[in-house]
A and B are shown apart, each in its own frame.
Chain A
Amino acid sequence: MTISSASAAFTGNDPGNRLYGPVPDVTGQSGYEADHPKRVGFFTDTSVCIGCKACEVACKEWNTLPMDDSHGVRDVIGMSGMSYDNTGQLGANSWRHVAFIEQSRAVDLPMPTFGRPGDDRQGSGPSPAGAGDSVSLANAQQSVLNAEALSEFDPQTGQTGADKQIRWLMSSDVCKHCTHAGCLDVCPTGALFRTEYGTVVVQDDICNGCGYCVAACPYGVIDQRKDDGRVFKCTMCYDRLTDGLQPACATACPTQSIQFGDLDELQERADARLVTLKAQGVETARLYGRDEDDGVGGDGAFFLLLDEPEVYGLPPDPIVTTRDLPAMWKAAGKAAAMMVGVAVAAIAGSRRR
């Protein structure tokens, strides 16, 4: 059987879920023999990410990716100016991207806060009722130069009746290696293909830079290198995998936030982790890309997030564009037939000369 870069929908290996929905064996469906390796993936557990960016560095080093700024402009040092995140986005030159979000919220708890040590010392809390309290608070604020500005901008000193908490969300984003990969579906040259590990990889020597995959990715992962013309994205270190090594990012991750392994095993591990976190009271924890019934048939690289996906710059409900392709072709066929019909009618309805 030949390995095909054509979508499984047209190799006849998957009559049930041709363009959409869960696929039990995406690798076999792509034409690999039954003894192909198991599908591998990433499970990125953002609850233990410390934002060290070792994954970004390891990825750049191993894959010899050029430097770029937070907009993907090559060989430019550019600070994003928005946070500790100066990578900004995934792109042709950044295949791992650590998102960094600083959040605050007002807390109105019946007891003194249990968040930061400083809170208790200042005797803060929801009710500054006692006169002594407000006096000491005022003193504390006056003792700091520009206290007003600080209380406005620095959450640590923001004692305005209701207390504030802050938290940092960090998440290492990566190509999702979708079950139904839009980039793979629309590639007109066959440069993008499904590897024996079930990952999606671009062949540099085939890609002609048409850019269709860039527009088709629902996550905005793959991009074109402007000076080169071709597109680039995470390969899940295909070269390392074939030598029995783990991808560079997973190897470098010091907290096991990035876990690499067989996808089914990772999914079990993620489910267990979610149960643990929920039991510990982390109610905002959720898995992203884990559900095989989602719009892309589940991701090969999925995440445990602590807030809504869009907070991390991820689409909340991505759907592979080719799901709707049959309807589009039908419309195009009808429109083409309409054109012929109109032309025939125009000819028939006109007197000859």
Chain B
Amino acid sequence: MTGGITSPGSGWRQADSGPATQRRGGGGKKRRRGGGWRGRGEVAMVEDVEFTSYYGRQIVKTPVWKSPDVPLYLFLGGAAGSSAILAALADVTDRPALTRVGRLTAGGGSILSVVFLIHDLGRPERFLHMLRVLKVTSPLSVGTYILAPFSAAAGATAAVELLGWFPRLKRFGGVVAALFGGPLATYTGVLLANTAVPSWHAAHTQLPFVFGGSAMAAGGGITMMFTPVAEAGPARKMAITGAVVELAAMHKVENDHGIESEPYHEGRPGKLMQAAKTCTAAGAGLTAIAGRTRLGAVASGTLLAAGSLLTRFGVFEAGIASTKDPKYVVVPQRERLAARENEHASTITR
């Protein structure tokens, strides 16, 4: 044993100031890949926190989920889910045009979302392996058992709607789709939150509401674009409520979680979130003012759908960004440890 190791106390610092500094001027390829090469000095300029890391390298892995596949899946699943609910209710209250538009949106969205989900797999041909087991601890497993019946029912209902066959079966299919529509739109929040990704996990009770609200804004927005304004009242109301829920829940995600909220404000994810909020708020406002005119309905519906889509991309990319900097892992965990130490001073040495 050398004197170094046996010497009491700490005071040890990384000997050279810099793998990170050396790397800063490095090739663009490496930078993009690593992402976590920023050194302590650079981090300190962004945020006044001190932490140590292993050469600035990231600790948790960056999710291998592809963009735009996964954000699109989140968006389409949400829009399909909420329009299925709307369609089923419109059906029983005798609103044929809204029913039809809702069913087609749900059917189209669900089929497309299945395509995106499968395409995102590393081994798409093994999609059916998802159906080997049902695990409540795996949101993706649960989601498979939500998406499968939903897309079957919504897809069949939409097909039947187009072809005009079996009207009674249509209503049944629509109800089945509506039952799974809500869970389809909100489970995706759990899907992202149930990970070690700091900025997703921190918001684990809020993301389902963000996605639920965003789904209603998108579903309501899309259906009111294609439904005669006289019949689109429910779509407008759902869209506005959804937009308000989305904005409120997202506000909490962006502000309640200290350093883990930071990625929602910075860089590309920050810009996406800002654009999302602008679109959603403008869409909701325009719906209230001009939603009863054809042009107003199309414009506001487009804004709401765009806002929802941007929200999904923003949340997705903020999570990705939070994996690339070790501070989002180390700092919150250090704070947690410190809080625990304060609670009872005599904890076991880890």
Contact with B along A326-350 (1 / 0, CB 8 A): 0111111111111110111111011
Contact with B along A303-332 (1 / 0, CB 8 A): 000111111111111100110110111111
Q: Is A135 an interface residue (CB 8 A)?
A: no
Q: A211-B63, A327-B204 are in contact. Are A167 and B95 (CB under 8 A)?
A: no
B81 closest partner in A (C-beta): A339
Q: How many A-B residue pairs have CB under 8 A?
A: 354
**B:208-245 near A, CB below 8 Å:** 208-209, 211-212, 215-216, 220, 230-231, 233-238, 241-242, 245
**B:1-56 near A, CB below 8 Å:** 1-16, 19, 22-23, 26, 30, 33-34, 51-55
Q: Which residues of A contact B136 (CB under 8 A)?
A: 6-7, 9-10, 329
Partner of A155, one of B11, B15, B187, B348: B15
B-contacting 9-mer, from A51-59, A186-194, A237-245: A186-194
Contact status B135-A7, CB under 8 Å: yes
Contact status B64-A211, CB under 8 Å: yes
Q: Which residues of B contact A209 (CB under 8 A)?
A: 121-123, 126
Q: A208-B130, A342-B216 are in contact. Are A102 and B16 (CB under 8 A)?
A: yes
Contact status A208-B196, CB under 8 Å: no
Contact status B209-A215, CB under 8 Å: no
Q: Is B133 an interface residue (CB 8 A)?
A: yes
Q: Which residues of B contact A222 (CB under 8 A)?
A: 61
Q: Is B197 an interface residue (CB 8 A)?
A: yes
Q: Is B108 an interface residue (CB 8 A)?
A: no
A346 to B240, CA, bound (A): 10
Contact status B129-A339, CB under 8 Å: no
A95 to B94, CA, bound (A): 61
A216 to B319, CA, bound (A): 12
A228 closest partner in B (C-beta): B122
Contact status B95-A188, CB under 8 Å: no
Partner of A82, one of B11, B55, B237: B55
Give the Cβ gap from B108 to chain A, nearest Cβ, in Å. Answer: 19
Partner of A229, one of B7, B23, B122: B122
Q: Which residues of A contact B13 (CB under 8 A)?
A: 103-105
Q: A153-B16, A328-B190 are in contact. Are A215 and B63 (CB under 8 A)?
A: yes
Q: Which residues of A contact B (CB under 8 A)?
A: 5-7, 9-10, 19, 47, 71, 73, 80-83, 88-89, 91, 99, 101-107, 113-116, 153, 155, 165-167, 182, 185-191, 206-212, 214-224, 228-231, 280-284, 286-288, 290-291, 293-294, 306-318, 321-322, 324-325, 327-340, 342-347, 349-353
A43 to B63, CA, bound (A): 29
Q: List 11 A-B contacts (CB under 8 A).
A: A104-B12, A105-B13, A209-B122, A209-B123, A220-B60, A221-B61, A310-B51, A316-B337, A325-B139, A339-B216, A343-B85
Q: Which residues of A contact B4 (CB under 8 A)?
A: 115, 165-167
Contact status A336-B127, CB under 8 Å: no
Contact status B135-A316, CB under 8 Å: no
Q: Which residues of B contact A221 (CB under 8 A)?
A: 61
Q: A101-B14, A208-B124, A330-B205 are in contact. List 6 more A-B contacts (CB 8 A).
A: A186-B137, A188-B141, A207-B122, A313-B55, A315-B330, A331-B206
A209 to B182, CA, bound (A): 27
Q: Is B113 an interface residue (CB 8 A)?
A: no
Q: Which residues of B contact A282 (CB under 8 A)?
A: 1, 5-6
B182 closest partner in A (C-beta): A336
Contact status A207-B64, CB under 8 Å: no
A353 to B228, CA, bound (A): 10
Contact status A207-B204, CB under 8 Å: no
Q: Is B59 an interface residue (CB 8 A)?
A: yes
A67 to B140, CA, bound (A): 31
A334 to B11, CA, bound (A): 50
Contact status A103-B12, CB under 8 Å: yes
Q: A71-B30, A215-B61 are in contact. Are A224 and B95 (CB under 8 A)?
A: no
A292 closest partner in B (C-beta): B348
Q: Is B293 an interface residue (CB 8 A)?
A: no
Q: Which residues of B contact A337 (CB under 8 A)?
A: 182
A290 closest partner in B (C-beta): B350
Q: Which residues of B contact A223 (CB under 8 A)?
A: 61, 64
A224 to B144, CA, bound (A): 21
Partner of B53, one of A107, A189, A214, A313: A313
Contact status B59-A314, CB under 8 Å: yes
A231 to B212, CA, bound (A): 31
Partner of B349, one of A182, A287, A318, A333: A287
Q: A104-B13, A336-B185, A339-B186 are in contact. Are A224 and B122 (CB under 8 A)?
A: yes
